[in-house]
Amino acid sequence: MSRDNLFSPLPPPGPDERFDTLFSSPHVRIERIVSHRHASPPGFWYDQAEDEWVMLAQGSAELEFDDGRREALAPGDWLLIPAGCRHRVAATGPDTVWLAVHVTP
């Protein structure tokens, strides 16, 4: 059995978002993502082969999709991003914590 806390310790702000794998199996990967006012680089789009369920646990964030839609997220908000749905992080606030579940088809 493993036990930890999603919110501690949070890494200090750095140049990049921090991705920590909390659980992994052949078809599922659960990550904690910590953002400190990060955004995807201009022109960069995530285009993943797996479905991603993402929940904003703490902080604030805005995602942008290649169809021009933007989704502002508050703590507790979640989205299911289907495989192949191009998206990017438009903005995040300080000490933003995400929980992401990636599911391979």
pLDDT of 2 = 87
pLDDT digits (tens, 9 = 90+) for 38-52: 999 999 999 999 999
Assign 8 a pLDDT band (cuts: 50, 70, 90).
Answer: confident
- 18-103 homologous superfamily: Jelly Rolls (2.60.120.10)
Span 13-65, pLDDT tens digits? 999 999 999 999 999 999 999 999 999 999 999 999 999 999 999 999 999 99
Helices and strands (DSSP H and E) totals, the chain: 0, 8
**CB-based burial, 66-80: b 16+ in 10 Å, e otherwise:** eeeeeeebeeeeeee
Looking at residue 86, its pLDDT comes to 98
Task: Indicate whether 82 pLDDT > 90.
Answer: yes
Alpha helix (H) residue ranges in 1-105: none
Domain boundaries along the sequence of the chain: 18-103
Tell me whether strands 61-65 and 28-35 are parallel, antiparallel or unpaired.
Answer: unpaired
